[in-house]
Amino acid sequence: MSRAENPLWHPFASMPQVRSKKLTITRAKDVWVWDDAGTRYFDATAALWYSNAGHGRTEIVEAVAAQLMKLDAYQIFGDFANEPALELAQLVADRAPIDDAKVFFTSGGGDSIDTAAKIARAHFAATGQPERTILLSRDHSYHGTHGLGTSLAGIPANRISGPFVPDVLQVSHDDATSVEKTIVDVGPERVAAFFAEPVIGAGGVIPPAPGYLEACADVCRRHGVLFIADAVICGFGRLGNWFGIERFGIRPDLAVFAKGITSGHQPLGGVVASGQVAAPFWDAPGAPFRHGQTYAGHPAACAAGIANIALMEREGLLDRALQLEGPLLERLQTLADHPMVSQVRGGTGFLAALELAPDRLEATPGLPGKVADAVREHGVLVRPMVTSVGVSPPLTATEANLDQLLDAFKAGLDQV
């Protein structure tokens, strides 16, 4: 390696392309970020879907700093605990749409998906149903890139090197009869859990078809299958509530969270499980659930979560997502007739996407990235996905920011 070449290997990146162009972010505040040349951008992606309360919130920064001075870090394995972990677990449980909620902390979303899958299988093994090992996920879904998340991936390109975990099956993202048929075909006595994002995120910002999630929840209930809501992207305000799934009147058996719980100020994730699912590990004197991450329940990360929840409630950011979802969609719908665009998706939460025209995608490899690059040249950061370009601005954004987003999208699409 040449000494002139930096050794940082970027996730989800073609490194030859990174060598020719690299955007180095040096600072951020609220909805804005700046690069090393001093150029300011509207962060219409909330970084990686997580800066829900905006960047650099003083209350969160000060809470983290104070906690680091008091107790920098300590594990919560066995009978150990720390005060921020205990407090945040209660705050999360109180806000979860889950009965008798128990909270298992992790370091992030991928950790949380693996944890939820292992809890589901372990629950059935502990209750005399060890044959319930099959996990269902939806096409277009994204559940992180750990072993189980890769196996659950509904984005074919993300299922690198084949499935890592057996007994994982794909179902339709918009047809509940597909879910029931799959369960019946393989045998309900073999199915452990069904994973669903309230709104599919990285797979293209795809809101659920009317009644789809509710029907899936009914199917799961009738067949004794655990319903797992993946709220990593949709949670903590993105859909106007704490876990996203409440919007559809569903009380899941487990919910996975990360990203917005600290608005990105610290890495943190977790799983909320119902008391019934957790009972074998809480109420029986049997073997423990042998699973956990080194930094689970990290006191500084939990301090960030506590401060973030207080901030979001004080500023009414959950309601703000509901207020802004319509204006965001209305602006992007003005691009529906652009020759580069085949569909505009949004309206369920403060996130949206432009699906690019199939003929243009076929003619131009890497088109979503090219569109995102062109929009960036006009001062706005958006997210390229498989066949679309998405946005998920901080909940502190204004309608003036949305006007800037629309102008940059128009200019970028025309430029490409």
At 44, is the pLDDT very low, low, confident or very high (cuts 50, 70, 90)?
very high
Report the share of the chain in percent with pLDDT over 90: 88
161 or 206: which carries more pLDDT confidence?
206
pLDDT of residue 5: 83
Domains 15-56+316-415 and 60-315 share a fold: no
Q: Name the pLDDT band for 1 (thresholds 50, 70, 90).
A: very low
pTM: 0.95
pLDDT at 160: 72
The whole-chain average pLDDT of the chain stands at 95
- The ranges assigned to domains in the chain are 15-56+316-415, 60-315
Provide CATH code, domain 60-315: 3.40.640.10
pLDDT tens, position by position, 239-256: 999 999 999 999 999 999
Q: What is the pLDDT of residues 131-169, one digit of tens each?
A: 999 999 999 988 888 877 788 887 777 777 666 788 999
Q: Which of 22-31, 162-171, 314-323, 331-340 has the lowest mean pLDDT?
A: 162-171
Question: Is the predicted pLDDT of residue 56 greater than 50, yes or no?
Answer: yes
Mean pLDDT calculated for residue range 105-118: 96
Mean pLDDT of 194-212: 96
pLDDT confidence bin for 20, thresholds 50/70/90 = confident
Instruction: Say if residue 301's pLDDT is above 90.
Output: yes
- Which of 11-25, 249-263, 268-282, 306-320 shows the lowest per-residue confidence on average (mean pLDDT)? 11-25
Question: Is the per-residue pLDDT at 376 higher than 80?
Answer: yes
Question: What string of H, E and C letters represents the secondary structure of the chain?
Answer: CCCCCCCCCCCCCCHHHHHHCCCCEEEEEECEEEECCCCEEEECCHHHHCCCCCECCHHHHHHHHHHHHHCCCCCCCCCCCCHHHHHHHHHHHHHCCCCCCEEEEECCHHHHHHHHHHHHHHHHHHCCCCCCCEEEEECCCCCCCCHHHHHHCCCHHHCCCCCCCCCEEEECCCCHHHHHHHHHHHCHHHEEEEEECCCECCCCCECCCCCHHHHHHHHHHHHCCEEEEECCCCCCCCCCCCCCHHHHCCCCCEEEECHHHCCCCCCCEEEEECHHHHHHHHCCCCCCCCCCCCCCCCHHHHHHHHHHHHHHHHHCHHHHHHHHHHHHHHHHHCCCCCCCEEEEEEECEEEEEEEECHHHHHHCCCHHHHHHHHHHCCCEECEECCCEEEECCCCCCCHHHHHHHHHHHHHHHHHC
So what's the pLDDT on residue 271?
A: 98
Has residue 2 got a pLDDT over 60? no
Give the CATH class of 15-56+316-415: alpha beta
pLDDT at 174: 95
Q: What is the pLDDT of residue 161?
A: 65
